C-alpha cells in the first residue's frame, strides 16, 4: 500500500519536473510581456522619454484621435472581409479534398499542394503580389489579352482591395486544412442513409455536412483571425501605406519610440482578439468535438 503511494508521489514529482521548464518559459516570455504591455500603456510619455508615472494620457490620446480610432475600425473591417473571403474561397476546396475525393493518396497530395507555397518566405510571397496586381501586372496583362477588359484596371494595387486579395491568398489554406479534416471524419454511411431516404444534395449539405464541418470552420476562423488581426506587413507592402491596421500603428509608434502609445494600441488589439476568439468558441465546444 505504502509502496503504491510512494510510486504515485514519485510520478507526480516527475510530472512537475517535466512541466516546469515549459511553464516557466511561457510565463516569463509570453505572459509577463503581455502584462508589460498593459502596464506600460499607463506610463507617461514625453517627446524623448518615458517614465513610469501612471497617467491616462495615452489612452485619451488614442480615443480622441481619428487616425487611431479609424485604424481600429479598418482592422475590424479588413478582418471581417478577409475572414469571409477565406471561408468562401476555402470551403469548396475543403469539400472536394475532404469529402469528394475517395482516394486517401489523392487528398493527401492535394493538401501537400496547398502547403507548398508556404515554403517561400512570407515577406517575398507578399511582395510577389505587386507584379501580379500592378497596372502592367500579370492579371491586367491576362485580362487584356483575353479581351475581357479594354483598359487596365488600376484599383488593383496600392488600395484596400490589394490588401484583401493578398491576405485571402496567404491565409485561405488555414481555412482549408481544418475544414477538410472535419469533413474527412464524417461517416459516409450517414450521407448514404440520407440519400436512400430521398434527400437531395442541398438538404444533405445543410442538414448533415455543414453542421458536422462547423468545428473545422471555427478552428480555421481562429487561425485566420489571429493572423489577420495581428497583420501589418501585408497592409504596409500592398496598400502603399493607405491602409493602417492596428499592427501598423504599433510598428510606427515603436519606430518613433512612443512606447506608451504602442502599448495602448497593443492592449486594444489584445481585447479585440480576446472578444473574437471567445465569440468563435461560443459557436462550438471545441473540447467536446476534437
Among 5, 200, 278, 282, binds another protein (CB under 8 A): 200
Which residues between 153 and 182 bind another protein (CB under 8 A)?
169, 172-173
Residues 50-69 that bind another protein (CB under 8 A): 50
In this structure, the strands spanning 50-51 and 44-45 are antiparallel
**What is the x/- site pattern for another protein, positions 73-92, by CB under 8 A?**
----------------x--x
Q: Which stretch binds another protein (CB under 8 A): 35-43, 53-61, 69-77, 210-218?
A: 35-43
Q: Is 138 in the site for another protein (CB under 8 A)?
A: yes
The C-alpha cell that represents 70 in the structure block: 479609424
Kindly indicate which of the ranges 58-66, 75-83, 180-188, 219-227 contains the residues binding another protein, using the contact rule CB under 8 A: 219-227
Look at the block and give the residue holding cell 493602417: 244
CA dist 175 and 88 (Å) reads 10
Cβ nearer to another protein, comparing 159 with 270:
270
What residues between 263 and 282 interact with another protein by CB under 8 A? Answer: 263, 266, 269-270, 273, 277
- In angstroms, give the least distance from the CB of 30 to another protein: 5
The secondary structure of 53-85 as a DSSP string is: ---SHHHHHHHH-HHHHHHHHHHHHHHHHHHHH
Task: For residue 13, give the C-alpha cell.
Answer: 514529482
Number of H helices, E strands in the chain: 16, 2
Does position 286 interact with another protein (CB under 8 A)? The reply is no
* Bridge partner residues of 51 (DSSP): 44
Evaluate whether 235 touches 248 at the Cβ level (below 8 Å): yes
If one asks whether residue 198 binds another protein (CB under 8 A), the answer comes out as: no
Amino acid at each position: 500500500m505504502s509502496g503504491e503511494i510512494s510510486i504515485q508521489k514519485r510520478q507526480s514529482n516527475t510530472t512537475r519536473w517535466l512541466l516546469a521548464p515549459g511553464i516557466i518559459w511561457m510565463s516569463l516570455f509570453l505572459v509577463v510581456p503581455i502584462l508589460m504591455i498593459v502596464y506600460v500603456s499607463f506610463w507617461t510619455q514625453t517627446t524623448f522619454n518615458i517614465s513610469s508615472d501612471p497617467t491616462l494620457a495615452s489612452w485619451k490620446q488614442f480615443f480622441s484621435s481619428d487616425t487611431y480610432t479609424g485604424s481600429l475600425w479598418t482592422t475590424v473591417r479588413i478582418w471581417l472581409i478577409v475572414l469571409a473571403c477565406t471561408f468562401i474561397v476555402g470551403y469548396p476546396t475543403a469539400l472536394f479534398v475532404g469529402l469528394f475525393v475517395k482516394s486517401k493518396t489523392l487528398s493527401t497530395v492535394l493538401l501537400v499542394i496547398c502547403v507548398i507555397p508556404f515554403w517561400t518566405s512570407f515577406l517575398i510571397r507578399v511582395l510577389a503580389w505587386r507584379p501580379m496586381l500592378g497596372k502592367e501586372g500579370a492579371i491586367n496583362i491576362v485580362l487584356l489579352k483575353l479581351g475581357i477588359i479594354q483598359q487596365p484596371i488600376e484599383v488593383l494595387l496600392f488600395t484596400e482591395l490589394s490588401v484583401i486579395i493578398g491576405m485571402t491568398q496567404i491565409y485561405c489554406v488555414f481555412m482549408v486544412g481544418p475544414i477538410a479534416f472535419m469533413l474527412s471524419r464524417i461517416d459516409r454511411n450517414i450521407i448514404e442513409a440520407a440519400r436512400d431516404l430521398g434527400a437531395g444534395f442541398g438538404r444533405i449539405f445543410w442538414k448533415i455536412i455543414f453542421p458536422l464541418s462547423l468545428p473545422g470552420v471555427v478552428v480555421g476562423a481562429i487561425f485566420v483571425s489571429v493572423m489577420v488581426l495581428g497583420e501589418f506587413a501585408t497592409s504596409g507592402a500592398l496598400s502603399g501605406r493607405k491602409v493602417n491596421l492596428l499592427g501598423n500603428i504599433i510598428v510606427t509608434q515603436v519606430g518613433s519610440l512612443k512606447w506608451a502609445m504602442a502599448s495602448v494600441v497593443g492592449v486594444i488589439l489584445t481585447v479585440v482578439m480576446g472578444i473574437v476568439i471567445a465569440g468563435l468558441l461560443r459557436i462550438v465546444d471545441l473540447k467536446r468535438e476534437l
